[in-house]
Structure 1
Amino acid sequence: MDQLEEMTKIRKRYLEAIEEGEYKILPGSFYVRAFIKSYSESVGLDPNEVLGLYGNAIPAPAVETVAEPIRRRKRNDSRTTEKLSKWASTILMLSFVLLILGVLYYFIGNSYNGDAGNEVNPSDKITDKLPDPANAAGGQPGETIAGNKIDGDKSQQSGQSAVQPPAMVPVVTLSRTENNIDYYVATNADKLSVQLKIPGEECWLRIDKIVPATENRKQERQVIEEKLYKKGDARDWTSDSSVYLTVGFPPAAELIVNGIPISLGTKKDVKRIQIDLQKSV
């Protein structure tokens, strides 16, 4: 028994109780089966066969039933909930009525104020409100404008007021796209004002001045500037002839020509643009 106690780690008095069939000494019915199984394995017996032989003698494990507590809802809670719901409904209805009254008051007040400013005095005459022809024409009584007499003054002034032509507004339009190059035409301007801003990532850009062709040479380009611009950079150029631009990363740059934004698109491919200057005659 001392050796079995050492092997099975079961107290010797429990092993003796199993030998004598005193299962009440064991802590519970579950431990009876477990101790018999461990005992059988230690002495070299089949635990299932031994449990089968002891099946009638081993007490069945008691099934414990756990009583589920019954929750009772207090009547006071239900009454409190009903009162709160009634109060909430009442407050909601009052708010809705006040909102309607406020809207009606607002529209009625505006209508009344608008009509009050347009009232007509019956004693006023229409002729009293006619504008002075001299003032309407931009002069004083007794003056003559462009040779037309305003009042009874016998003197007449001849001549014609000088009319200034309207200022020309610069225009930049896209004329065509060939070989992945966008061709723009700038009119109503004597020079090109090119502005570059880099609000996004860094962008490489090159701007060339286009030298027109002559009898002795062909049209060529002269580099004005070539640089890698970083975020936040800005640059301005002025040219008296057409220009050619190569933009390395179009989504990161903003281009403005003569005050007019030029769309560079959202593609990450290199963008090539030629702006032809047509000077006003």
Structure 2
Amino acid sequence: MEIGSRLREAREEKGLTLEEVQNTTKIQKRYLQAIEKNEFGVLPGKFYTRAFIREYASAIGLDPEQVMEEHKSELPANEEEQVITYSRVQKSKSDNRGSKGPGSFSKAFPTVLTIVLIIGLLFVAWYFILQVSNPNDSSNEEESSEDQVDVSNTDDQESGEESNEGSNDESSEENEEDSDEESNAEDESEEEEQEEMDISLEDTGSGGFPEHTYEITNADDRELIIEFDGESYLAVNAPKGGESLADERIYTADDDNLEIDISDQEEVYISTGSVSGITVKVNDEEIEFPAENHTQKLLIRFE
């Protein structure tokens, strides 16, 4: 009976399936089937064939070594012994190579050392020959470098003086331009302050002699100008102090315009008997009479 049939019968007597043997041995089912059919060429190699048969026999309760001995003629040659023999031969060869290596290197070492010493001596001799033949090269190079440094320093000083003179001239010109720009900016800022004066009508009066209230802001320097275009009664007062700021009388077109400095006043009270005969201005900004009445009053407050 072949080894494969023997193993199959023993498995069936134990009541085991190939799947159970596969789980026990971790050998693929197709390899177990090949062993039972004695198709050892399906297995991955001769060494694995003998190992798988041992595992199979052990899993189904047979003595692996006895089975192997009884069917050794059916099994492929023991590759393990060949591997061991080959490894021993290779090891002996490598040992022989290793023993030859150090000896050959020790023989060649004196020759290599002699060549290195000869090259070193030649280099030293060449260096001294160069020094003897050209002893003044280094000193000439140092002198030339010093001359170059002196020339460069003088050039740098001259260029620095010229650049300083140029920078001084430019800085003076820039300072003059800056001063001009600053003065222009101051003039413009003063004009802007005058233009920023705000006039707003806060209250419009009513009745036969209406009183209108104006509020003016951002007017530090204030000048009241009254122009006469016809005959009109006029009174100009400072309400808080009761001070009269102009003669209270009837003015005509022949009278000169009134120009009154009211910078110190917080309020100015203007009363007229004929609106069409006068024009009221504060810093050249006209203050209008909003009603249609012939006689009106203006109360101007400064904030």
Range into which the TM-score falls when normalised by the shorter chain: 0.3 to 0.5
Report the structure number with the largest CA radius of gyration: 2
Larger helix percent:
2
In the superposition, the TM-score normalised over structure 2's length comes to 0.33
